[in-house]
Amino acid sequence: MQIMMKSSLWSLLLCASLLLSDVLATYQLNAWDHQLIAAQSYAQTRNNGRPPSRTLDPAKTDSQCRSRTLDLVFIIDSSRSVRPGEFEKVKIFLADMVDTLDIGSYATRVAVVNYASTVKIEFLLKSHFNKPDMKKAISRIEPLAAGTMTGLAIKTAVNEAFTEESGARPRSRKIPKVAIIVTDGRPQDQVEEVSAAARASGIEIYAVGVDRADMRSLKLMASIPLEDHVFYVETYGVIEKLTSKFKETLCGLDPCAMGHDCQHICVNSNASYYCQCRNDYILNADKKTCSRKQMKAVVVEDPCKCEARLAFQKQTQAAIQQLTAKLADVSGRIERLESMVSRA
């Protein structure tokens, strides 16, 4: 009896041991799975929390709004204080700004003025009328290094970039002229007088300061109200945040998209629009419909009177032929008379 009880007890202990082993094995496997999932989740969280390094992609476009029609000139500081990596951030900011604009010959035109101790116009308002080409041109811009001649850059923009020869529209078109200055330092020349002259000529100026930028100089350059035209960011790494701010300022309603009665081309003009015609057509008096250009009959004068001379020659020849025929007839009659006389 005792032997049987001991045998049963050992069987129970063996079964309990096997069951405990299975439970432990399952627990260890689940624990390992949870650790693996937790590790993957942590890595994913780190990757999601760390934004990817942005580069300028000229082929990528993202028009998120329709801007007012502008003649827009960026004036960018590339002095020695702007490190190469920071200048790349500036170019990405410019590319992002281009994406928010409605670029085109009849829409917004953009130019870029690069400056340090010297000034270089990278491209004019008439140079590029599509986003990929414009962004390629931006990607090729190189920093100029020394100096911060901001006043000289503004003066160059007024005298060379905002001219009709460079692609700016005539004043009669009433298309706003806008300059956006991006700088991280204190100007080494005078900006107050040249900025005032630029504003007096009708140019609206936005001043963007980065890091060590002199706030007083920014206020001297910008249009009023200053709270709408002066911006500041602590580093170039966050300058792209200003894109949304400018988007609110520069983007507006699209009258053409909201409906128009132009027969051919509708062109936005601030809060309104006007109509244009395709090539070989002219705008009718109603300023909406178009008619094909009429080819004017060309009257060719004959200074040598050649046609009159030819007509006179033809008349003379006809008269001579008639006289010749009459003479031949008279000669024939005379010959017949002479023949009759000789026979008699």
Model confidence at 157, pLDDT cuts 50, 70, 90, reads very high
Amino acid at 130: N
> Is-contact 154 194, C-beta < 8 A?
yes
121 - beta bridge partners?
113
Instruction: Report the alpha-carbon distance of residue 280 to residue 277 in Å, rounded.
Output: 8
Which domains, ranges and CATH numbers included, belong to the chain? 71-250 (3.40.50.410), 254-300 (2.10.25.10)
207 - beta bridge partners?
181, 230
Residue 189 has φ and ψ, to the nearest 5°, of -140, 180
Amino acid at 253: L
CA angle at 101 for the pair 52 and 110, rounded to the nearest 5°? 105
What's the confidence (pLDDT) of residue 32?
38
- Show the tokens assigned to 50: 């760390």
Distance, C-alpha 328 to centroid of its chain: 87
> Is-contact 258 66, C-beta < 8 A?
no
What's the confidence (pLDDT) of residue 164?
96
More confident residue, 140 or 18: 140
R_g (Cα) of the chain, nearest Å: 43
Model confidence at 3, pLDDT cuts 50, 70, 90, reads very low
Q: What is the pLDDT of residues 219-229, one digit of tens each?
A: 999 999 999 99
Q: What is the pLDDT of residues 269-290, one digit of tens each?
A: 656 778 999 988 999 999 999 9
Rounded to whole angstroms, what are the CA distances from 287 to 104, 106, 174, 258, 319? 22, 17, 17, 18, 61
Burial of residue 288 (number of CB atoms within 10 Å: 0-12, 13-18, 19+): middle
Length of the chain: 344
